[in-house]
Amino acid sequence: MQFGIFSVGDVTTDPTTGRTPDDTARVRAMLTIAEHADAAGLDVFATGEHHNPPFVPSAPTTMLGYLAGRTKNIVLSTATTLITTNDPVRLAEEYAMLQVITGGRMDLTMGRGNTGPVYPWFGKDIRQGIPLAIENYALLRRLWEEDVVDWTGKFRTPLQGFTSTPRPLDGVPPFVWHGSIRSPEIAEQAAFYGDGFLHNAIFWPMQHTAQMVNFYRQRYEHHGHGRADQAIVGLGGQVFVRTSSQAAWNEFRPYFDVAPVYGHGPSMEDFTRETPLTVGSPQQVIDRYGAFWEQVGHYQRQMFLIDHAGLPLKTVLEQIDILAEDIVPVLRKEAEARRPADVPAGPPSHAERVAAARAAGTIPAASTGTTDHWTGRTAEDDLDAATVR
């Protein structure tokens, strides 16, 4: 099972000092956090995608491409890639490039985001959120899986003889998660394609999370990808940990109260009771998250939000160390002990996906580098024809 952290990249005033980082400081702090998580032995770092204050991570592939050269083992991912407002052609190019740069040490989570105004900023209609997610992802898959694409849809101009470059590493597209909090249509989409489903449960009780995950599992089996318990599931959560529970509560409360993610609403007591937010000792986190298997079955990835609400960088790095040293080893051991032998321990790696594709005959056993895959018309062909006329 994989354990990692994700960042929403908010710029929030530290309520205990009154200091507010500027955008540059916040971006650089995210880079430091990712590098520290890699050194500490966590499995995944993911960045959100936002295009509005107080959030700074507007260009995930730029950040993750830099981190590819600064980290060694950690999987680089997105906490949400906006499938609704990004052009799927651009997504195909950017994430195939990231896949090549990282050598396959990456994946991404498709989602609609939680900021309504982003739709008109990018010329889209929020009322078309679900249809946009469905059509754009269908095109994205074709751009990765087919060398030459002819396509006509509702939400963008047609494509004729289009080839997205670079081609996916080893002929195998990146692994995709579909992130959703409340939309069964997105769980259905993940199940239809046999992709992963990530329920970021930081706002919701586990009963709701279990309903969404179980629906995805049932549909995954229905579409013939394997048994329901073999479906690839991820969960989001949040913790703040200190040696004693009271110390954790006292330190985190002022940050919770100003958090742009969920501050200014229900109390911290309500949130810790109703959602996976856990503020306390390492053992309390182990007990709380170790019980989730009983509600959703064995799952492959657990992500934690730990760096928002103005928390100082020093504190965030301490939280990473506590996770890596005192919590994750115990949870990992418990997860492996409970996992049935034929249920995936984690999401498929790039090497595993390549081996499966070769076994299925969907890619050659070995690339010769001499095959010409590009047989469609090019922009240069059209320009030449227009010049002749």
Q: Which one is predicted more confidently, 252 or 113?
A: 252
Q: Point out the least confidently predicted range of 12-21, 60-69, 197-206, 248-257.
A: 197-206
CATH code for the domain of 100: 3.20.20.30
Q: How confident is the model at residue 202 (pLDDT cuts 50, 70, 90)?
A: confident
Percent of the chain with pLDDT over 90: 76
pLDDT at 221 over 70: yes
Q: Point out the least confidently predicted range of 60-69, 124-133, 141-150, 373-382.
A: 373-382
pLDDT at 110 over 60: yes
pLDDT value, residue 368:
47
pLDDT at 320 over 70: yes
Q: Which one is predicted more confidently, 240 or 121?
A: 240
pLDDT value, residue 120:
79
pLDDT at 195 over 80: yes
What does the pLDDT average to over 261-289? Answer: 90
Q: How confident is the model at residue 70 (pLDDT cuts 50, 70, 90)?
A: very high
Report the number of distinct structural domains present in the chain.
1
- Mean residue pLDDT of the chain comes to 91
Q: Point out the least confidently predicted range of 116-125, 357-366, 375-384.
A: 375-384
Q: Point out the least confidently predicted range of 23-37, 174-188, 331-345.
A: 174-188
pLDDT at 26 over 70: yes
Note if the pTM is more than 0.85.
yes
- Domain span at residue 296 reads 2-388
Query: Each residue of 48-71: b (16+ CB within 10 Å) or e?
Result: bbbbeebbbbeebbebbbebbeeb
Of 219, 237, 307, 248, the C-alpha closest to 276 is 237
pLDDT value, residue 203:
74
pLDDT at 228 over 70: yes
